[in-house]
Amino acid sequence: MSTFILGIESSCDDTSAAVLENEWIRSNIIANQHVHHSFGGVVPELASRAHQQNIIPVVEVALKEANITKKHLSAVAFTRGPGLLGSLLVGTSFAKSFALGLGIPIIEVDHLKAHILSHFIKVDSNSKQPAFPFLCLTVSGGHTQIVKVESPSNMTIIGSTIDDAAGEAFDKSAKIMGLPYPGGPEIDKLAIEGNPKAFSFPEPKIQGLNFSFSGLKTAFLYFLRDKLKTNDQFIELNKADLAASIQDTIIRILLSKLKRASRETGIREIAIAGGVSANSALRTALLASADKLNWTTHIPELQFSTDNAAMIAIAGYFKYLNNEFASQDITPYSKSKFA
Ligand code: KG4
Ligand code: ZN
């Protein structure tokens, strides 16, 4: 008999619901909140309100598209954290009451582990899943980690950022250039026309497998401030080259640590996950490294790179198989417990 998991994701500014039949995707609905664009970043209070408005319609569409009714559901998996507390409370409270009404269990999911487990969602017979153990470079708006994954429930962080996340490096650089939020996709688009070697920015010297991006942001800010003193059109005239150069630097920082992690662990099964894994140049650079280093790579479909509930449902499915259910008095957490 099939297991149907409803996944709920509400950690930041996307309200998402998805249905999985065992590992197979049946629906993955994502409502983006456009209300934040004019503020240049996510406004937590507005995000919670938008989740409250979106959650019921998004779940209804997810069930309809999956061609099932709520009576078919085996369990409800939800993001417990990390994320914005007000946003998480909406998803958590919804999951609890919906499941209670249906008399089915709830499953708590860590958002960062779910990004990694998104590689196990089956879309068609060509879906290729990573073999254990594998390394996952998780790059999102809030986190940058290299994780050694030995099983769905056994993951160890072997490197992480000591300050900004890679997504923040993209978003803050874009903001400095006057581009709209979120800046990552904007830089990605502009960079296609630009020369990645036009400008060079310093790479941080951080020990081991850890990352740092705050120095790069400051270097970029000071570089532009100096250029603008003599040419107030500097950004406008060099937009594509600036985007390509800052993107290239971020990717080089990420890949040099990933290569080191592969060397040190001897693992050549390599995955990327999280919003920044949608970046086209990162994907290309990863494939080029894979060719040289004999890596087997796993790059998520775009719908599973950025925040989505299908990844919450697959993480929930693995816990369902182990009877790992949460109790009704569970509360969300804003900081990651996965460390
Ligand atoms: O995983 P995600 O959707 O949300 C978090 O859990 O944070 O990641 C969002 C981040 C943002 O910083 C956004 O700018 C970045 O992912 N992002 C990208 C691209 N698409 C999304 N960064 C670079 N290139 C992209 N194409
Ligand atoms: Zn995320």
204 and 254 in a single domain? The answer is: yes
Quote the percentage of the chain above a pLDDT of 90: 92
277 and 144 in a single domain? The answer is: yes
- Domain count of the chain? 2
From 84, 139, 140, 304, give the residue whose CB has the most ligand 1 atoms within 8 Å, as the site to mutate.
Answer: 140
| Contact indicator for 12, 99 with CB cutoff of 8 Å | no
Residue 337 has pLDDT above 90, yes or no: no
The model's pTM is: 0.96
Q: If pLDDT is split at 50, 70 and 90, which confidence band does 1 have?
A: confident
Q: Is the CB of 184 under 6 A from ligand 1?
A: yes
- pLDDT tens-digit profile of 2-16? 999 999 999 988 999
Residue 37 has pLDDT above 90, yes or no: no
Residue 36 has pLDDT above 80, yes or no: no
220 and 85 in a single domain? The answer is: no
Can you say whether the dihedral through the CA atoms of 189, 216, 174, 224 is positive or negative? negative
Residue 318 has pLDDT above 80, yes or no: yes
pLDDT at position 7: 98
188 and 291 in a single domain? The answer is: yes
3-state percent helix, strand, coil for the chain, nearest multiple of 5: 50, 20, 30
309 and 293 in a single domain? The answer is: no
What angle (nearest 5°) sits at the alpha carbon of residue 55, between those of residues 276 and 325?
A: 80
265 and 207 in a single domain? The answer is: yes
Q: Is the residue at 333 inside a domain?
A: no
102 and 142 in a single domain? The answer is: no
158 and 227 in a single domain? The answer is: yes
14 and 103 in a single domain? The answer is: yes
Ligand 2 is an ion; its neighbours by CB within 5 Å are 140, 307
Cα separation, 112 vs 91, whole angstroms: 16
41 and 167 in a single domain? The answer is: no
Nearest CA to ligand 1 atom 22: 184
Q: Is the residue at 20 inside a domain?
A: yes
The DSSP secondary-structure symbol of 278 reads G
pLDDT at position 336: 79
pLDDT at position 42: 83
Q: Is the residue at 169 inside a domain?
A: yes
CATH number at residue 206: 3.30.420.40
Q: Which domain holds residue 168?
A: 134-300
What is the Å distance from ligand 1's center to 274 Cα? 7
61 and 80 in a single domain? The answer is: yes
pLDDT at position 319: 98
Q: Is the CB of 183 under 6 A from ligand 1?
A: yes
16 and 153 in a single domain? The answer is: no
Cα separation, 276 vs 164, whole angstroms: 13
Q: Which of 138, 124, 98 is nearest to 7 (CA)?
A: 98
Amino acid sitting at position 11: S
- pLDDT tens-digit profile of 174-221? 999 999 989 999 999 999 999 999 999 999 999 999 999 999 999 999
Cα separation, 243 vs 28, whole angstroms: 31
pLDDT at position 127: 84
